[in-house]
Structure 1
Amino acid sequence: MCGLTGWVSFDRDLVQHQADLDAMTATMACRGPDDEGTWSDRHAALGHRRLAVIDIEGGTQPMSVRTGDGLVTIVYTGEVYNFTELRAELVRRGHRFRTRSDTEVVLHGYLEWGEAVAEHLNGMYAFAVWDAGAAKLLLVRDRLGIKPLYYFSTDDGVVFGSEPKAILANPLSDRTVDLDGLRGLFGFTQPPGAAVWRGMREVVQGGMVVVDRAGLRERRYWTLRTRPHTDDQQTSVDTVRSLLEDIVSRQLVSDVPRCSLLSGGLDSSVVTALAAAECDEQVRSFAVDFVGQADNFVGDDLRGTPDAPYAREVAAHVGSRHEAIVLEHSAMADREVRRAVITARDSLFSMGDMDTSLYLLFQAIREHSTVALSGESADEVFGGYSWFHHPVVQAADTFPWMAVPVSGARAQVSDRFNADITAALDLPDYIRDQYAGAVSEVEPAGGESEHERRMRVICYLYLTRFVRMLLERKDRISMAVGLEVRVPFCDHRLVEYVYNTPWSMKAFDGREKSLLRAATADLLPRSVLQRAKAPYPATRDPLYAGALLQQAKELLTTDDPVFDLVERSRLDDIVRRGSATMPIGDRNRIEQVLDMSAWLDIYRPHLRLS
């Protein structure tokens, strides 16, 4: 895994802008702590920071091949899991290789297939190819959008990078955040391609961007399509199992230490069990826990049981070498950790202690492993949230995660800014427009019942909108500490197959993730197979809440610019009535204000909120 950046300009000599390229590349150091490299000619400049995972000695970048028409150069991040087969095919077609890296396979794939190279790749990736002979830049992103890639159009070209901070380091960039940027964040439905910073865009999932003297053009090489599903239930179960075994086997390939993330839920347990069965050596597994969690845990609508006992049971069952990373309240409330998380995410939106604890978990794992396999996105693929089965959610004329009948869920969308900004955002209208546009993308299937059609829509919304937020969080926070997190459930073959499996098969026994449970029933303890879905854990330590209260008190004594965005009086009310046993809503509100304050201080954005 790596970080890439670059600049194409048809009116400048970019050889003269090495300092700018170096500054852009330096912002990606956390994504690539092992090596760095830059390359430039008159109209193109590429930068790369490397996290060495495959072919540690030979995979340095930028990587170039000289052709009869000129030099072709690539900067690449991610993993292509079928690179061995592609390499063999390219050798048969006459290509010769100098390294064992998947980067070189992608580069030669471009020489062979041009822009169509993306259609041959299985994996998580983002890359940029500068073709000097054609004077053309190609930007490509994987099908599910696991790996990020942003770009900013200029008068004579484009600036791009794995994260916005790389683009913001370029003198041509715009540090403005306007209402549209905030709507995408706080409406919980950022449209594909949108970014927080004005003028900046993401390469869409399964998309590519071509830049040449004629301008900039976007197109998609993959979208989630509706196709007939002719397999019966048992064949569907067997196919899911076969796909999972192949996917995990491919994603275990690494020249550096690997591990799995094991919460004790179904998804991470399946990945850990499959990895343990595939590996010759003992698999390491890690989970997050909190000091005093056993004493402080109180079940609620979202989290009925603590994770730790289930994680230990799975580890014993599959034989993994398991370790719980137990976090102190002081580390989670540390101001520098908060700043590190906000810097990683480039955004004033965060999930409070669930982000800081994830950062600290990944930081601890990185001391032992460079690659981790995760159960992320199984809920979106298999319909794993309990509210998939709730009649109110199924019938709601909005994004399903906004109709969840859980206390406080709706408050996430609003209630973050002062009255003037809230009115200007007009999130209800924005959400309605985005919902209508997203639903219009869904291709119907012939002969579907109304219920099957509705469940197809819900699954599509999760796979194309909601999962994007989760994958971005996982990528940014893991790469902030140089940890590569792989997501087997996002293999496009599995996503396509399960998406087109009728809902009646996905939930054949009336429970969430019936198809996944049936496909992996022999791998896990019965207690885990039957365990209800629980989201990523949050601490209930009253000492953490107390630390937040103290920070909020200190903030209220200042003229922090955050109070141009939020009502000082509301934070003051929380502090005055606050205690270490404050309601979770009050605690979340404090976290939001502290996070916004940190973001304003780190990024110094130009805000246009009217």
Structure 2
Amino acid sequence: MCGLLGFLSSNENAASFVDAVERALPCMRHRGPDDAGTWHDQDAVFGFNRLSIIDLEHSHQPLRWGPPENPERYALTFNGEIYNYLELREELQAEGHEFRTQGDSETIVVGFHHWGEKVVDHLRGMFGIAIWDTETHRLFLARDQFGIKPLFYATTEAGTVFSSEKKTILEMAPELGLGLELDQRAIEHYVDLQYVPEPESLHQKIRRLESGSIAWVEPGGKLQEERYFKPQFPVQAVPKGKEQDLFDRIARALEDSVEKHMRADVTVGSFLSGGIDSTAIATLAKRHNPNLLTFTTGFEREGYSEVDVAAESAAAIGVEHIVKVVSPEEYAGAIPKIMWYLDDPVADPSLVPLYFVAAEARKHVKVVLSGEGADELFGGYTIYKEPLSLAPFEKIPSPLLKGLRKLGQVLPEGVKGKSLLDRGTQSMEERYYGNARSFNFEQMQRVIPWARPEWDHREVTAPIYARSTHMDPVARMQHLDLFTWMRGDILVKADKINMANSLELRVPFLDKEVFKVAETIPHDLKIANGTTKYALRKAMEQIVPPHVLHRKKLGFPVPMRHWLAGDELFGWAQDTITESGTEEIFNKQAVLEMLKEHRDGVSDHSRRLWTVLAFMVWHGIFVEKRIDPQIEHHDYPVDI
């Protein structure tokens, strides 16, 4: 787990950018405090910060490799982990290729030499990859299937820059001649969805290579991107009485994934909340590490903590458990540095407790496992039940359906049945936009009056829906979430917030072999018996403690509604709005009125307020440069 930064010159002038790369690298020292290095030729500069996990003494990057006739043909920088590197190494050695290290990085470049761009089809892991071929003068970039690891890029007349973190590109902007104008369309998307959807960033000229994609760049050329991960959800009917065969396949795939994800030359721990996802991972991890440490976080306020349930789970599976309780004062104090680490804001309040539990975990371990991805792969969101509840609308004749839709539109908000009519008379493409939405359009116009009248969430979702027309309704919702909510929120915070603490987070559910099983599950075994993730729960019956098996997952619930209305955060929020230099973006008076309405109990604006507040703090750091995020670099033991 590391941070890569590179530059491909348009005019064989790479050497003049070495100083800029070396100056920018410390911006992401948190991603790799153990080692740093640069390499360059006339076309390319590669920089790297390393967090040593495998082959601690060797596998330094940038890594050079080539066949005997040109032993330094390729230069590689790689952020992530390849969990099947031992198997791939054996396969490539059988083909006659020689290795010089014991790490997973070399497996990638040897595989690239052997398979070309198809190497990504062989990799089982999480990755952002850059390989420069000194013979063909082509740069290869790649991201893992799900987008667990990030990769930003920008192209100017000087060349193409690429990095694990946007802030390093911002640092190099003067040398690159890179304009830093904000992208108003991306701001609309953020305010509506709580995150900036790929491939956008909040800066017009800086983009992200999309999850599950590769790209080629030649000196002076444009980046040519291609998607290689195209999930199909080939749902397979399960004969009556054969359900257990599917449950067993799920259990075997997950157990194998956890085993592979435990590969490391340092200590591996596990996050543990009160739900089935993290408990399943921790229970399976305990089989491979009898001394497993688990970590959880919570708040003192009743109803906003899974500490007790997590402790009960830890006792049941026999692991040592460490808890971090976060106070409102700690919460508010950490917000600026968290927004700095994020690069672009994500309006998810659980980012903050995650930051603190990651900081606690880093005192004891260097790698943690977590349960991200289970909901998207196995049907864990309650909203996935919606196609079943709305099925009767499909039988209503079109003229009557249109009449019901008009009725729903004229009914006042809060009237019983209005929501059902609104949703039941719309197509899925119209009604479902993923698992996050802060504002409807009327509310958005209240706080950003310049919002385009034609704005609609389908601007983001339509291309994704177009790839899923052959799928059943539940699979279509899962497919959409894979490319919106999961990679825009869940995986951004998983990467950025843990790496902020130089902690590698691994997600065994988001494994290509687990996905091969998960995407075949029929919807009646995802949503069944009044619960979600039914097949996963059945697969885990003999693995997780009974008190967790059917318990609804809370994750890291945050008492934001109470804090924004009370002494804990109201004053902070008011000051943040008043002092923010975002008058050209937000109607600050309208935002202050929303805060007052929230405090007075007129309406629960907590999600909307948090979306705006997070942006204002981000803007104060990266645009106004008024807020000091007070970043501290820590020196951690290399081999903890």
Shift of residue 18, structure 1, vs aligned partner: 1.7
SS of residue matched to 1:325: strand
C-alpha spacing 1:463/1:556, structure 2 compared with 1 (3 Å) = closer
Please say if residues 598 and 606 of structure 2, whose CA atoms lie closer than 8 Å, have aligned partners that are also in contact.
Answer: no
SS where residue 582 of structure 2 aligns?
Answer: helix
Q: Tell me the C-alpha RMSD between the 2 structures.
A: 2.7
**How far apart, CA to CA, are the structure 2 residues paired with 1:195 and 1:474?**
18
Pick aligned residue for 1:372 from 365, 368, 371: 368
Distance 1:78 1:198 in 2: 27
Tell me what 1:546 maps to.
Answer: 567
Q: Which residue in 2 is equivalent to 1:181?
A: 186
Q: Which stretch has the larger CA shift, 524-533 or 269-278?
A: 524-533
Determine the structure 2 residue equivalent to 1:382: 378
| Contact persistence 1:160–1:166 (CA under 8 A) | no
Q: Is the 8 A contact 2:446 2:590 kept in 1?
A: no
**Structure 2: distance between partners of 1:568 and 1:387:** 33
Per-residue deviation, 1:454: 1.5
Inter-CA distance 416–178: structure 2 relative to 1 (3 Å threshold): farther
- Equivalent of residue 347 in structure 1, options 341, 344, 348: 344
Query: Post-superposition shift, 1:219?
Result: 1.3
> Separation in 2 of the partners of 1:596 and 1:96?
50
What is the rounded CA distance, in whole Å, between the counterparts of 2:613 and 2:483 in structure 1? 30
Please give the alpha-carbon distance, in whole angstroms, between the structure 2 residues aligned to 1:468 and 1:343. 19
State the shift of 1:584 in Å: 8.6
Alpha-carbon distance between aligned partners in 2 of 1:403 and 1:198, rounded to the nearest angstrom: 24
Alignment of 1:380-529 (within 5 A): 380-390=376-386, 391-392=389-390, 397-398=428-429, 402=433, 411-412=438-439, 419=446, 421-426=448-453, 429-442=455-468, 444=470, 453-469=472-488, 470-529=490-549
CA deviation after TM superposition for structure 1 residue 557, in Å: 5.7
Q: 1:551 to 1:595 in 2, by over 3 A?
A: same
Matched residues in 2 for 1:366 and 1:246: separation? 26
> Does residue 283 of the first structure (1) align with residue 292 of the second (2)?
yes
Q: Residue type of the partner of 2:205?
A: G
Q: Distance in 2 between matches of 1:576 and 1:386?
A: 32
Q: CA deviation at 1:416?
A: 7.4
Could you tell me whether the CA contact under 8 Å between 1:226 and 1:444 is conserved in 2? no
1:43/1:525 CA distance change after superposition, 3 Å: same
Query: By how many angstroms is 1:288 displaced?
Result: 0.6
Per the TM alignment, residue 120 of structure 1 is displaced from its structure 2 partner at its CA by 1.0
Q: Secondary structure at the match of 1:128?
A: strand
CA contact (8 A) 2:438 2:607 kept: no
> What letter corresponds to residue 371 of structure 2 in structure 1?
G
Which residue pairs with 2:273 in the alignment?
263
- Matches of 1:464 and 1:555 in 2, distance apart? 32
Q: Which segment drifts farther, 267-276 or 527-536? A: 527-536
Structure 1 residues 360 and 8 mapped into 2: Cα distance closer, same or farther (>3 Å)?
same
Secondary structure of the corresponding residue to residue 5 of structure 2: strand
Per the alignment, do residues 152 and 381 of structure 1 end up closer, same or farther by CA in structure 2, a change over 3 Å counting?
same
The whole-number CA distance in structure 2 between the counterparts of 1:589 and 1:207 is: 32
Structure-2 residue corresponding to 1:448: none
Q: Deviations over 1:422-473 (max 9, x none)?
A: 44244x743133333222101526xxxxxxx222211211222221121112
Cα distance in 1 for partners of 2:561, 2:612 equals 20
Deviation at 1:500, TM superposition (A): 2.4
Q: State TM-score, norm by structure 2.
A: 0.84
State whether structure 2 residue 554 is matched by structure 1 residue 534: yes
Residues 109-258 of structure 1 mapped to structure 2, 5 A cutoff:
109-155=111-157, 157-170=159-172, 171=174, 172=176, 173-188=178-193, 192-213=198-219, 215-227=222-234, 229=236, 232-258=242-268
Q: More deviation in 8-17 or 202-211?
A: 8-17
Equivalent residues of 1:190, 1:465 under 8 A apart: no
Q: Equivalent residue for 2:328?
A: 329
Q: CA deviation at 1:230?
A: 6.0
Partners of 1:459 and 1:499 within 8 A in 2: no
CA contact (8 A) 1:143 1:206 kept: yes
Contact preservation (8 Å) 2:126, 2:149: yes
Aligned residue in 2 for 1:41: 41
158 and 416 in structure 1: CA distance in 2 versus 1, 3 angstrom threshold: farther
CA 1:594 to 1:361, structure 2 compared with 1: closer, same or farther past 3 Å? Answer: same
Q: Secondary structure at the match of 1:33?
A: coil
Q: Give the secondary-structure state (helix, strand or coil) at the position aligned to 2:517.
A: helix
Q: What is the CA deviation profile of residues 42-63 of structure 1, one whole-angstrom value per residue up to 9, with x for unaligned ones?
A: 1100010011111111121101
- For residues 16-95 of structure 1, what are the structure 2 equivalents within 5 Å? 16-67=16-67, 68=69, 71-95=73-97
Residues 8-63 of structure 1 show CA distances to partners (whole Å, capped at 9, x for unaligned) of: 01314211222111123222211111111111111100010011111111121101
Distance 1:600 1:230 in 2: 50
**What whole-Å deviation, never above 9, does each CA across 1:513-569 have from its counterpart, x for those lacking one?**
1100110101222221121232431136967841422223444664x3133333332
Following the alignment from structure 1 to structure 2, what is the Cα–Cα distance between the partners of residues 325 and 200? Answer: 36
Which deviates further from its counterpart, 55-64 or 493-502? 493-502
AA of the residue aligned to 1:293: R
The question of whether the paired residues in 1 share the 8 Å contact of 2:9 and 2:159 is answered with: yes
Partners of 1:420 and 1:82 lie apart in 2 by: 49
Secondary structure, counterpart of 1:564 in structure 2: coil
Query: Is the CA contact 1:140–1:209 (under 8 Å) kept in the aligned structure 2?
Result: yes
Moved more, 466-475 or 435-444: 435-444
Q: Is the 8 A contact 2:434 2:485 kept in 1?
A: no
Aligned partners of 1:184 and 1:196 also within 8 Å: no
Kindly indicate whether residue 586 of structure 2 is the aligned counterpart of residue 566 of structure 1. Answer: yes
Residue identity in the other structure for 1:185: Y
Give the structure-1-normalised TM-score.
0.88
Q: Tell me how far apart the structure 2 counterparts of residues 83 and 556 of structure 1 sit (CA, whole Å).
A: 49
Distance 1:157 1:367, change over 3 A: same
SS at match of 1:359: helix
Query: What does the per-residue CA deviation read over 1:266-302, in whole Å, with 9 as the maximum and x for residues that have no partner?
Result: 11111111111232x3211111111x223xx37xxxx
**Percent identity among equivalent residues?**
29
Q: Which residue of 1 aligns with 2:419?
A: none
Shift of 1:199: 2.5
Q: How many residues are aligned here?
A: 578
The DSSP-based 3-state class of the residue aligned with 1:585 is coil
Cα deviation for residue 417 of structure 1 reads 5.9
Q: What is the letter of the counterpart of residue 513 of structure 2?
A: R
SS in 1 for 2:3: strand
Does the 8 Å CA contact 2:355/2:498 hold for their aligned counterparts? yes
Distance (Å, rounded) in 1 between the aligned partners of 2:7 and 2:253: 39
Distance in 2 between the 1:498 and 1:556 partners?
44
The DSSP-based 3-state class of the residue aligned with 1:255 is coil
Counterpart Cα distance in 2 of 1:474 and 1:528? 23
Structure 2 vs 1, CA of residues 513 and 38 (structure 1 numbering), >3 Å: closer, same or farther? same
Q: Which amino acid aligns with 1:546?
A: D
